[in-house]
Structure 1
Amino acid sequence: MSVDNRLKQLRQRSIERTANNMELYGFSSTVGRLMGVMYHHGEPMTLDDMKDELNMSKTRMSTAIRTLLDADMAEKSFHKAGRKDVFAIEQDYYLGFIKLFCSNWRRAVTNNTLSVQKTVDELEEITALKEISNETREEAEDLLRKNYEAINYYDWLDRLLEAFETNKIFDYVPLKEED
């Protein structure tokens, strides 16, 4: 096997690894492969570039890049010379991970915190009732206690996300210095 073919194989393996990692965060394999291709391309790409590189339709590439834009994983700009939109992704692994991690978890924390707070409000109403049985009151109080624990958990997750978003995480888990 020639060195060029070997390099192509290794590049493809790296792209597939990126796709697999993206699937862990709920993204489709198409979005993951696009992310890998864009990372290895190293410079902004047009939809036509993406279509040609991945052998997929322009519509599919448009949908995939929209997913990356919505997740704050890609940026769009206009290239005057070619009169086309070009798209780029974060080339720094750490910043890319932080964006991906925080994007998904921020949404979950916000939605779940609202849901838990609504549940707590309703449970507090139930426990305040005088005409319920002791058994029902105990069940409601137990559920209320568990939801208070959930509030604390989502508060902790919120603070963890803040540590990532402000890069304070690197105070606790420093980057490895290059040799």
Structure 2
Amino acid sequence: MDLYGITLSIGHLYGNMYFNSAPVTLDEMSETMGLSKTSISTGMRTLMDLKMIDKVWGKGSRKDLYEASTDWYQNFADYFSIKWRKAVETNMHALNKSLCEMKELEQEGLEQGNDQLVTIVRRDIAKIGDALQYYRWLLRLIDALESGEIFKFIPKEENPQS
């Protein structure tokens, strides 16, 4: 689970749920793992945010039930889509803001006849453009992960054998 940046205790929680044959409550997980209900709840929330577990309905149960998602391909796609999209959007916002500031600086350099400044700023504008181009590509990769289109290019294994 380290690949997903998940702590050892949350990894154990997921593993316990993955090998459980039925949906579980927070109380059951707390008892099974010997952890506080608060710790289990926090871990469950983390796993739900990462789409690695789902809240499910259970006949006759008034408590929330949870079960692990067993589609590891989808777990991978969801996890990296969530993390990468957030990072890409943050970085693109910062780069676009910097790009606006750099264009203003370029205009000032042109108005002042400062060719050295204009040269440096234009070089930096090009570098920002390269970064934005990369992030637009990364967004397309994220879209392909989210839509499942990636599996056309790198198919899932059918009936994988251990």
Q: TM-score band (shorter)?
A: 0.7 to 0.9
> Is 1:64 aligned to 2:76, yes or no?
no
User: What is the CA distance between 1:107 and its match in structure 2?
Assistant: 1.1
The two structures have a TM-score, normalised by structure 1, of 0.79
Inter-CA distance 132–115: structure 2 relative to 1 (3 Å threshold): farther
- For the residue of structure 1 that corresponds to 2:117, the secondary structure is helix
Specify which of 122, 130, 138 is matched with residue 149 of structure 1. 130
Q: Which has the higher contact order (CA 8 A, sep 6+)?
A: 2
Inter-CA distance 161–53: structure 2 relative to 1 (3 Å threshold): same
Specify which of 94, 101, 126 is matched with residue 80 of structure 2. 101
The two structures have a TM-score, normalised by structure 2, of 0.87
Quote the sequence identity (%): 34
- Hey, what does 2:5 align to over in structure 1? 26
Contact residue 78 and residue 84 of structure 1 kept, 8 A: no
Unaligned runs of 5+ in 2: none
- Hey, what does 2:14 align to over in structure 1? 35
- For the residue of structure 2 that corresponds to 1:76, the secondary structure is strand
Q: Could you tell me how far apart the structure 2 residues matched to 1:171 and 1:80 are?
A: 38
* Count of paired positions: 158
> Is 1:48 aligned to 2:48, yes or no?
no
Cα displacement string for residues 74-114 of structure 1 (whole angstroms, at most 9, x for unaligned residues): 22235352321111221111111111111111111111111
Q: Could you tell me how far apart the structure 2 residues matched to 1:114 and 1:58 are?
A: 39
Q: How big is the alpha-carbon RMSD for the aligned residues of Structure 1 and Structure 2?
A: 1.8
- For the residue of structure 1 that corresponds to 2:112, the secondary structure is coil
Unaligned runs of 5+ in 1: 1-20
